[in-house]
Amino acid sequence: MTSDTPDDPGRDGPARQVCPICGKAAAEKYRPFCSSRCADVDLNRWLTGAYAIPVTEDDDEDGEEPTLSPAPPSER
């Protein structure tokens, strides 16, 4: 008879994580963070980054754009 169980409950799998904010052990309730505070910090960072993205996309209008190609050397 084989009494070998493939699923060992005593084993710690990838469920164990560390808070990316402070590096502490993450809480199952606030995974992957350790607390709601750290989760909020991460969310704030995310929002800040999301808001910073459209800034580079402000050059979509046909306005005064810098000369991409160099002007001809001989033109009078």
Q: Interface with Zn ion by CB under 5 A: which residues?
A: 19, 21-22, 24, 34, 38
Residues in the chain: 76
- Is residue 8 a known part of a binding site? no
Q: Which is nearer to Zn ion, 17 or 22 (CB)?
A: 22
b or e along 56-75 (b: 16 or more beta carbons within 10 Å of the residue's beta carbon)?
eeeeeeeeeeeeeeeeeeee
Minimum separation from the CB atom of position 70 to Zn ion (A): 52
- Is residue 43 a known part of a binding site? no
Residues at the binding site for Zn(2+) are 19, 22, 34, 38
